[in-house]
Amino acid sequence: MERHLSGAGEGEGELKRVMGPGLLLLFIVGDILGTGIYALTGQVAQKVGGVVWLPFLIAFVVALLTAFSYLELVTKYPKAAGAALYTHKAFGVHFLTFIVAFAVMSSGITSASTASRAFAANFAAAIGLDAGTIGVTLVAVLFLMLVGLVNFRGVGESVKMNVVLTVVELTGLLLIIGIGAYAILGGQGDVSRAFTFATPGDSSLIFSVIAATSLAFFAMVGFEDSVNMAEECKDPSRIFPKVLLGGLMLTGVIYVLVAVSAITLVPAAELGEGETPLLKVVQAGAPGFPIGIFAVITMFAVANSALINMMMASRLIYGMAREGVLPDALGRVHAGRRTPYVAILFTSAIALALIIFAGSVPALGGTTALLLLCVFAIVNVAVLVLRRDPVDHKHFRTPTILPVLGAVSCAFFAGPWTGRDPVQYLIAGALLALGVVLWFATVRFMRVRPLPAE
């Protein structure tokens, strides 16, 4: 019997709805905050100087445009498959659906595996251990296995862990903002630096801001992961609009305040050196604060990114399997835990392989953002196409101009004219090429033919 991308089956295959507005808000905030702001502030400062807050603000606006499209689609089709579901309903092309799903899954799994390695490195540094490459890899593997166990335990346990980790990472960023505010009120630092451009070499001002924004966009992704949790949310069509927009607004304000605090206390050139820019802010503004504590906070922030990305990836695989785009086995739900255990094992295995064999992938953050920008452009077009597909319940409707602007801006920031490192296109191309191979294998062994959109 032919199956369509219309949602998971009913009855015993359904996931447990445990996420209310509060847990969903913390999930979104925790996913967006993640490792981006902790690691990218200095690199953005290298490109634009003191106005480090501006690229984050522009990236926030671009993300917000796409978020409105996601809101219309997730309230219209509150299912777990996310962007892949919307792509299939809009275009009805099995190959495109598969590649979009693979791109989103790859971004989540690769980010989670890299976050696991970052966790291991920070863990070794926090306890003063010179673990070496093998030791870091071993700790990363053990950590990711723990993430898999939490994910399998249940979405309730996973989101509760997310609550703890989100509070910790949010505390770290509020600490930076507090240190900055105290310094400004006490006459310490130089607030005027926050309005000073300093472009590298012969780069123009506009080009530098565009390049910095394409980098800062990595810090704004994450909100799209929440739509893959739709089947585990209570009344998603009602709660998603306020919660998603509220979460984006909150993180946008935090990013701008953190950037201003950082540049006020640490000059752009110094902020751009090394991989711990916010640690330098703490040392400059509060030299008496125990640096080890902030290192642990950073480690928790990275851990949160790994957990949320693995939750997203496993739910996406589950959703696609339930719709017949992937083998049925990947859509199995554990009878006792009510979690997609086969999808969790599958995504965890890929992440473990990346940790062991790929290690730290160069320009991973930029590659993740590149893949998602391409997906976002497709989603923005899909929301316009799907206006011709009415549903029998009320849902959010975004003004038509927003997805148009969203599609154009996402396509623009995915282009080579932004100054994006060419290696990012090579990595993205290799990942998508693997996706093409898997698609042919899926069609060959499942004997799948392109499914028509409903």
pLDDT of res. 447: 54
Cβ atoms of 262 and 176 closer than 8 Å: yes
Pair 254, 173: CB distance under 8 Å: yes
How high is the pLDDT of residue 399? 95
Residue 85 has pLDDT above 50, yes or no: yes
User: What tokens appear for 169 in the block?
Assistant: 């990472």
* Nearest to 80, CA basis, from 227, 183, 190, 200: 227
H or E element in which residue 254 lies: helix 236-265
Among candidate residues 172, 166, 209, 176, the one with its CA nearest the CA of residue 53: 209
CB 327 within 8 A of CB 346: no
Confidence at 78, pLDDT banded by 50, 70, 90: confident
User: Residue 111: pLDDT above 90?
Assistant: no
Determine the pLDDT at residue 404.
97
pLDDT digits (tens, 9 = 90+) for 418-430: 888 887 888 788 8
Residue 440: other Cβ atoms inside 10 A: 12
Taking residues 178-201, what's their average pLDDT? 84
Q: Is the pLDDT of residue 203 over 70?
A: no
What is the Cα–Cα distance from 88 to 99, expressed in whole angstroms?
11
Confidence (pLDDT) at 159 = 64
What torsion, rounded to 10 degrees, do the Cα atoms 193, 363, 306, 10 define? Answer: 120
3-state secondary structure of 19: strand
> Does pLDDT of 449 surpass 50?
no
pLDDT tens sequence across 44-55: 888 898 899 999
Look at residue 398 in the predicted model and tell me its pLDDT. 93
Contacts of 105 (CB under 8 A, 6+ apart): 313, 316, 317, 347
pLDDT more than 90, % of the chain: 20
What's the pLDDT score for residue 255? 92
Superfamily of domain 18-445: Amino acid/polyamine transporter I (1.20.1740.10)
Higher pLDDT, 399 or 128: 399
Higher-pLDDT residue of 316 and 261 is 261
Residue from 154, 18, 84, 100 nearest 323 by CA: 84
Instruction: Supply the pLDDT for residue 279.
Output: 80
Average pLDDT, the chain: 80
What are the Cα distances from residue 398, in Å, to 81, 166, 262, 281, 383? 21, 29, 35, 40, 9
Sign of CA dihedral 44, 49, 52, 54: negative
